[in-house]
Structure 1
Amino acid sequence: MRASLIAVLLSALAIPASASQADLCQQTYGQRACSATSLAPLRAEMAHKFAAVMALGNRTATWQARHDAVLRDIRAALDYDGKPMDDVALEQTFRDAIDAYDKALAQAQGVRTMIKTPSARSQTCMAKWLDRGCGVTASGVLWRKDGQPVHWQMMDGASGDDGIGAGIVLWAESGHGTAKAIGWSFDGVVYEPPRMTQDGMIWVPGRTMGTGNGNADLLFKWDAASKSWQDIELESWRDALPAKLPTGFGIWKGVDYDFEGMAATSKLWRDKDPNCCPSGGDALLEFSIAGRRLVLNAARFDIVDKWARPATGS
């Protein structure tokens, strides 16, 4: 197990094992984070916790993308205004990532990763994270094109860390009346029942808590080489979004995916819009899948003409 964790970590860092310790640190965390000796324990803890999360095998493409985003923030060491982070803010960036990994590890401890197939249809929650009034809201079976079943269970309740929330676990039948977990999530406050797309992907629509109404969708694709379901990461495509939108327009909340058509729709916000009231028209986003991530190919707009024209006055 120890050797496998080290292998996962080195692969995640994408740095040759032969690199010097100083070079490895610089390439991974940047000069600022490596020059602060007080951050050395946090660097080690974050690397260890991330390796442990990856070793769970749950939604590894998603966790890899989240980790990569954290490392980019640490290397840049800039705050939201583009100014250099102070030592407290840089340290907090490490701690926030560690907290996220700790939560993922805690959630995994209560997930039934191997079950007897009838258990997926029971009224007993097959995960313990929502330990305050957990109830099964729905369960069922999806069928792969070759006839192999995928079992799923949705639940809601509350946890000590998150308050009110929801969860979902999916299992692929492994023979002899047993099933092995494909993946799980407690990111959302609401999920819709999973569906099998015409392309044979498993799509779970979901939303997060808060006014941002963010996405908690899950997408899994069958990988013939490994004979397993693998998650498709649905978050990093937003990095490409600003370059594809008109200047002064943005998408501030979750989008409405349609993975049957590999697209999504959203309202557009102008820079001066209040959060409640987008005035920039509608956007149609077009996607493809590259490896294990969703890629934004194009964004098409239906913008009100008076806002699309350059301003000529006050």
Structure 2
Amino acid sequence: MALALVLAAAATPILSCPGGTIETKCTAAEVAAKIAITRARVTNIAQRCLYDFGGKCSVEASGRINSSDRGATLLWQKMLLAPRDGPQARMLVLLSQDKAGKTALAGFAESSGSIGAPDLVVDNDKRRLVHVGGTLAGSGGGNADALFVSDTATPQWRRVDLSDWAEQGGKLLPTGYWLRGPAQFAFDEMFASAPVARDGDGNCCPRGGNAFYDLDIQGDRLVLTRLRFQPMQPLGRDVEVTAGTLED
């Protein structure tokens, strides 16, 4: 149960649906259809929201990523979205642009909490990987990371599913231990680490040690290939002292 709560963002991305209200349900395809990539929007990417949200939208940051292929460029925009009847969220939109200036949607990611700038972590003759770090709102500290991949042979960008590896990793831990999160990803080395809690730990303070994962991308899904676990054992009983009760 704890694993599902902590890492829920990987399996169920938060969607700010067109219409500007939390009462509306939609698909990722419907959101993508409302991301405008006209010449005017792209030219004013630092000032004008790409997403026709329907609620309040403001641009928080934007930028450009140059890859080793000088004919290909990535543009990105981070937006703060505020629906009329619910909590705000953040969205990052990633665009690919060729040498002729033709722009296409590479993908988007959302979070109820924070979301970072995209990072081109792998750029070689086989593939490119862009990692977007993020965390969920609230005290749970869950991940809202996104990973996008483009093969050199077929340069279309695709989003990688980040859900299966976490479920596998939780099942491999010894009885009485569970992943607490958030996980820290290093996709340039295909590696991740996550705090581990023991039965009885509070939500704030995992004391079970750390889990380390080797990862791979198989069929556009992130999978676990190896787990290394370093358990932290308690050295003694907890000590509690009330102020003013100690003698000089």
TM-score, scaled to structure 1: 0.60
Check the 8 A contact 1:117/1:151 in 2, yes or no.
Answer: no
Question: Could you report, residue by residue, the CA deviation over 1:103-151 in whole angstroms, capped at 9, with x for unpaired residues?
Answer: 545533531145458436331111133722x221111111222121011
Farther-moved stretch of structure 1 (156-165 vs 250-259): 156-165
Higher helix share: 1
Counterpart pick for 1:233 among 145, 158, 161: 161
Q: What's the % identity of the aligned pairs?
A: 29
Give runs of aligned pairs for residues 116-265 of structure 1, distance below 5 A: 118-119=42-43, 121-129=45-53, 131-132=55-56, 134-147=57-70, 148-160=72-84, 162-174=86-98, 176-199=100-123, 200-265=128-193
2: CA distance between counterparts of 1:294 and 1:279?
Answer: 27
List gaps (5 residues or longer) in structure 1.
1-61, 67-98, 308-314
Deviations 1:188-207 (CA, angstroms, capped at 9, x unpaired) = 42111111113431111111
2:219 to 291, 294, 312: 291
After TM superposition, give the deviation of residue 240 of structure 1 in Å.
Answer: 0.7
Task: In structure 1, give the amino acid aligned to 2:203.
Answer: N
Q: Which deviations, in whole Å up to 9, do the C-alpha atoms of 1:257-284 show, x marking residues without a partner?
A: 1112211222111122111111101222
**Structure in which a larger fraction of residues adopt strand:** 2
Relative contact order higher in (CA < 8 Å, ≥ 6 apart): 2
Q: CA RMSD in A?
A: 2.9
Corresponding residue for residue 25 of structure 1: none
* Structure 2 gaps, min length 5: 1-8, 13-22, 236-248
Q: Secondary structure at the match of 2:122?
A: coil
- CA–CA separation in structure 1 for the residues paired with 2:169 and 2:85: 32
Distance in 1 of aligned mates of 2:80 and 2:25: 22
**Contact preservation (8 Å) 2:195, 2:210:** yes
| Distance in 2 between residues matched to 1:279 and 1:262, nearest whole Å | 25
The count of aligned residue pairs is: 213
- Separation in 2, partners of 1:219, 1:151: 15
CA distance in 1, matches of 2:132, 2:186: 11
1:27-84: per-residue Cα shift (whole Å, max 9, x none)? xxxxxxxxxxxxxxxxxxxxxxxxxxxxxxxxxxx99x76xxxxxxxxxxxxxxxxxx
